[in-house]
Amino acid sequence: METDVLKAEISPQGGTIENLWLLNYSVTAEKPEVKFQLLKAEAPNMFIVQSGLLGQPQSEFPTHETHFTPEAKHYQLETGQDELIVTLRWRGDSGIEVVKTYSFTRGEYLIEVSQEIYNPTDTVLNLRGYQQLQRTELNDPHKTKFVATYTGGVYYGPEIKYKKEDFKEMVKHPLDTKITGGWIAMIQHYFLGAWIPPADMPQTFYTKVIAKDSPEPRYIIGQYSSAIAVAPGDRYIFQDKLFVGPKLPDQLSRVAPGLQLAVDYGWLTILAEPIHWLLSWIYKLVGNWGWSIILLTILIKAAFYKLSETSYKSMAHMRKLTPRMKALKDRYGDDKERLNQAMMELYKKEKINPLGGCLPILIQIPVFIALYWVLLESVELRHAPFIFWLDNLTSPDPYYILPLIMGVSMFVQQKLNPPPPDPMQEKIMLSLPVVFTVFFAFFPSGLVLYWTVNNLLSIAQQWYITRSIEKQEHRKAS
């Protein structure tokens, strides 16, 4: 089956979607012709989509292991065609018929899935529909070791909201909960597969583990409906939605309530979502994600200008006291009690709050962490080029130029700050730019770009404020 955005292989065994490629996404930026495979029938990185029916006796109903007969071997969305329907049929020994259909739409990653049952017998059939996602742990050779993102199960309900169900939890405490109006999913960095049942039909969400002790255990998150009675001669259709594709917040929010939370910003979602919206809005204006990151960082820095100004003024005043603080340390030596008392008296005399520079910085930290997660989680930035040698914002700088600039900027910024009175602490602080440069050499260049721009703006602001204070002091003295 192939549309303009999806290519899939559906097995006659259970109508399982065994393999699926996203045609607008490649595995690497260097080889755009090799498309990214989200669903895969074999380990490693096995990930498949299954569905079926449950009832008594079970032999009367097809599961994900029952053989269906497809109407055709190949389906292609043609020019001018907006919908593609894949149909598979099953007929039991008692005459019960089941038709499973997948309805694909041009330009969409959302698939309408139905299981229609016809009861020709003279007894009432009591049955449930189920859908599940099965996968192994993710082994991504292109993943940056220093950047960890979540891979595993998640589910959502109107009352419980968004919850993770990681693989370890599936082993220790299998999920078994009833929810109406929710959804289940398996997520990974940038992509997900999710089942969305009808909002008004109660579902039981469950997890289980297959081949638990094998080298490649398989983890399942699934749902089954409440029991449905199908009278003799009647038909019933279980209708569900399946989303398999990139984690694009705008699309996900239209598919189901809360599905955009699969773009996992963690506990800072309330800050990250508006930051992502602003970043996307800037991109619409400039058409380049690198420049969008720079402009967004400038806007956030401008929003916190007054807070930063307070912090840098406090640091400038503290820097002015550095010689006197060192003199106090030389005078009192290892007598920390008298040293601290003398320093407090100095702060009081000069009307300086030693913590005055910390609070404004602490207030800004959640915003910048949220921005970090936006840059890390946004699939829109995947393989996005910037300028010159930076042709992929989600991969490390191949020449380590940007991390080196970041390290130098961090060193300059430290030199503008008042040095710690303790020599050992001063040495540790001076080593941090080297440590961060090594770490950032393996970070996605988009994150390093944001950090570097933020450092450069901070240096400019701090230099300007420090210079202004020094001029004021000089005028007072003269």
Residue 206: what pLDDT? 97
The rounded distance, in Å, linking the Cα atoms of 156 and 98 is 29
* Distance separating alpha carbons of residues 436 and 443, to the nearest angstrom: 10
Instruction: Supply the pLDDT for residue 418.
Output: 62
In the predicted model, what is the mean pLDDT of the chain? 87
Radius of gyration of the chain (CA): 29
**How many angstroms separate the CA atoms of 462 and 313, rounded?**
8
Helix axes 445-477, 423-440, angle to 10 degrees: 150
Q: What is the pLDDT of residue 436?
A: 83
Scanning 304-400, the segments in alpha helix (DSSP H) are 305-320, 322-332, 336-350, 358-377
Report which of 129, 127, 154, 157 is spatially closest to residue 221, judged by C-alpha positions: 154
Q: Are residues 312 and 319 in contact, defined by beta-carbon separation less than 8 angstroms?
A: no
Cα gap 161→166, rounded to integer Å: 16
Q: Which helix (H) or strand (E) holds 469?
A: helix 445-477
Give residue for tokens 């008594």: 56
Written in H, E and C, the secondary structure of 137-149 is CCCCCCCCCCCCC
pLDDT at 333: 65
The per-residue pLDDT for 281 is 95
**Residue 313 confidence (pLDDT):** 64
So what's the pLDDT on residue 303?
A: 83
Q: Can you give the pLDDT at residue 473? A: 63
Nearest residue to 374 (alpha-carbon basis) of 304, 453, 444: 444
- Give the C-alpha separation, 46 to 83, whole Å: 28
- Kindly report, residue by residue over 318-376, the tens digit of the pLDDT: 666 666 666 666 676 666 677 677 767 766 666 665 555 555 567 677 887 888 888 88
Q: Tokens 């497809």 label which residue? A: 70
CA atoms within 13 A of residue 288's CA, in its CB half-sphere: 12
Q: What is the pLDDT of residue 478?
A: 62
Cβ neighbours of residue 82 closer than 8 Å, sequence gap 6 or more: 105, 106
463, 454 Cβ separation under 8 angstroms = no
H helices then E strands: how many in the chain? Answer: 11, 18
Give the residue among 134, 162, 131, 138 at the shortest CA–CA distance from 242: 131
How much is the pLDDT for 282?
95
Low-confidence ranges of the chain (pLDDT < 50): none
- What pTM did the predictor assign? 0.85
Please name each of the domains of the chain with its CATH number: 6-264 (2.70.98.90), 281-477 (no CATH)
Plot region of 400 (φ>0 → left; ψ -120 to 50 → alpha; else → beta): left
Q: Is 65 exposed, middle or buried (0-12, 13-18, 19+ CB in 10 A)?
A: exposed
Res 435: pLDDT? 86
Place of tokens 């292109």: 142
Q: How many CB atoms lie within 10 A of CB 233?
A: 10
Confidence (pLDDT) at 337: 72
